Amino acid sequence: MSQASTAQVPTIKSRIGAILRATSGNFLEQFDFFLFGFYASAIAKAFFPSTNETASLLNTFGVFWLGALMRPIGAIVLGAYIDKIGRRQGLIVTLSIMAIGTVVIAFCPSYATIGIAAPVIVLLGRLLQGFSAGVELGGVSVYLAEISTPGNRGFYTSFQSSSQQVAIFVAAILGYVLSEAVPGDTVMGFLGGDGVAKWRIPFFVGCLIIPVIFFLRRTLEETPEFLAMKKHPTASEVFASAVANWRIVILGMMIAILTTTTFYFVTVYTPTFGRNVLKLSTADALLVTLLVAVTNFIWNPVGGAVSDRVGRKPVLLTIAGLSLVTAYPALHWLVSAPTFGKMLAVEMMFSFYFGTYSGTMLGCLVEIVPKHVRTTCFSLAFALAAALFGTFTPFASTWLIDRTGDKASPGFWLMFAAVLGIIAALTVYRGGRQAVESREVVAA
């Protein structure tokens, strides 16, 4: 009997290899997301031409956000699939959908070539990416949690977020090289009315990476914890459980909001903020973003490891509290007399907040959602945070600055996220321990 059980529940041969294979799909997701934000101005001209630069930029960030609204749908549909069929197969499916969206955006002709069809096609590509992204983070986080060693769950899950920083780093390097080595906006003219626009080159690189990521994902082992489950829920049971645990999902969303808003501010929006608002050079904005990716990568596992030792609650409350009292003053100091050094200092502060908080938050979410529908509820909580707040950050920041005339006003958006995080953490961990219990729902 014991031998049969051992055969049915294999151990992960190499946890480092498993981490690399599991997180590879995150690379493609964040690589594309960052490029869309970094080249927002160029993409706006290609697909959303307008005499008003701000209106054109808002249209671009609007499409970016609309794609994110597909995240909750993807979290429920694909999350239910992963909770029923398995982590390995589910992660391969999500990568396939993400790859299609990437190719669509990379090769879509410009508005000058096919008119209104161009922004429609780009929107469809973003919707596919958002649908896949809705469960990618949750699926990978759950996978890492289920292969983690005892007492190190926060540390293991933190590599989900750290892997995204590698994508930001590579994308920033590509953008920097192109901006310095290739003059003008077009490399050569044969694709649509904008030729081979410089912004397309990194997207083409992303397309070339897809086969490598597929190979890595196909070699994933299923997690022992999933194989050990005596019963896997049906789709109807998954949906019923998600509804029954709506309170945990909402609290999880509130905890994740500070992660998503800070992340999209320091990565996707920072290049636009540096160039269009602070009037710094493209090279300066890219260099800051590149350094942020490096420090994000470092702080994530640090946050996860610290929370494994001292608990999730103290870390969550400390970072959220610091963000609440420093976000606006730091940005006000930066915009009063913008320099590369000041921008770097402020972004390093936000990077510390994001990385430490994110590394802790991922472990928190895995632990508070019900085990039998872990992927669905985790993904739904994070997808709602990303869709309603995180990916809305570039749009909200642009809108706040335009409406208020205060270049530091995005700080209010980050402060709001911090308040929600504090309320949720205090609610979940009342009295120093988890006070909100999940409910298992099984069909009769």
pLDDT for 435 equals 59
Residues found in the chain: 444
DSSP letter at 441?
-
Lowest mean pLDDT among 75-79, 237-241, 318-322, 435-439: 435-439
Token look-up 């809305």 returns 392
Question: Do residues 424 and 254 touch, judged by C-beta distance below 8 A?
Answer: yes
Please say if the pLDDT value at position 191 is more than 70: no
Looking at residue 341, what is its pLDDT? 92
More confident position, 60 or 191:
60
pLDDT at 259 (0 to 100):
95
Task: Quote the pLDDT of residue 300.
Answer: 93
What pLDDT was estimated at residue 192? 41
Confirm if 438 and 370 have CB atoms less than 8 A apart: yes
Q: 433: pLDDT confidence band, cut at 50, 70 and 90?
A: low
Tell me the percentage of the chain whose pLDDT exceeds 90: 28
**51 against 139, higher pLDDT:** 139
Q: At what angle do helices 374-385 and 246-264 cross, to 10 degrees?
A: 50
In order, the DSSP letters of 363-413 are HHHHHHS-GGGHHHHHHHHHHHHIIIIITTHHHHHHHHHHHH--TTTHHHH
* Overall average pLDDT of the 2-13 stretch: 44
HSE toward the beta carbon, residue 168, CA cutoff 13 A? 29
Q: Residues with Cβ < 8 Å from 284, sequence gap 6 or more?
A: 274, 340, 343
- Among 60-74, 90-104, 320-334, 402-416, where is mean pLDDT lowest? 60-74
Instruction: Answer whether residue 320 shows pLDDT above 80.
Output: yes
Higher pLDDT pick, 140 / 61: 140
Average pLDDT over residues 378-404: 89
10 — pLDDT class (breaks 50, 70, 90): very low
Q: Residue ranges per domain, the chain?
A: 14-432
So what CATH class is 14-432? mainly alpha
Question: Per-residue pLDDT averaged across 110-139, rounded?
Answer: 85
User: For residue 196, what are the β-bridge partners?
Assistant: 188
The pLDDT value given to residue 321:
97
Q: Which of 348, 349, 355 is nearest to 287 (CA)?
A: 348
Confidence of residue 37 (pLDDT cuts 50, 70, 90): low
**Rounded average pLDDT over 134-149:** 84
Who has greater pLDDT, 22 or 352? Answer: 352
pLDDT for 139: 83
Q: Which pLDDT score, from 0 to 100, does residue 13 have?
A: 56
Gap between the Cα atoms of 265 and 347, Å rounded: 9
The pLDDT of 158-180, averaged and rounded, is 81
Asked whether the whole model's pTM tops 0.85, one would answer no
CA distance 423 to 416: 11
pLDDT score of 441: 53
Q: Select, from the ranges 1-15, 56-70, 232-246, 384-398, the one with the highest average predicted confidence (pLDDT).
A: 384-398
Give me the pLDDT at residue 7, please.
Answer: 39
Residue 43: closest CA among 130, 118, 124: 118
pLDDT value, residue 436: 57
- How confident is residue 336, by pLDDT bands cut at 50, 70 and 90? very high
CA dihedral over 251, 254, 258, 260, signed as positive or negative: positive
Query: pLDDT higher for 345 or 9?
Result: 345
Residue 171 structure tokens: 């994308």
At 226, the pLDDT band (50, 70, 90 cuts) reads confident
Calculate mean pLDDT across residues 1-11: 42
Mean pLDDT of 324-353: 94
Residue pLDDT, tens place only, 230-252: 777 777 777 788 788 889 999 99
Mean predicted lDDT score pLDDT of the chain: 82
Task: Report the C-alpha gap between 259 and 386 in whole angstroms.
Answer: 9
How confident is the model at residue 182, as a pLDDT?
64
Q: Please compute the mean of the pLDDT values over residues 9-23 and round it to a whole number.
A: 69
Give the Cα separation of 286 and 2 in Å (integer). Answer: 56
Using a pLDDT cut of 70, give the percent of the chain over it. 89
pLDDT above 50 for 1: no
Which residues, including other chains, have CB under 8 Å from residue 217's CB and lie 6 or more apart? Answer: 21, 24, 25, 91, 92, 95
Gap between the Cα atoms of 85 and 228, Å rounded = 13
pLDDT at 439: 55
The confidence score (pLDDT) of residue 326 equals 97
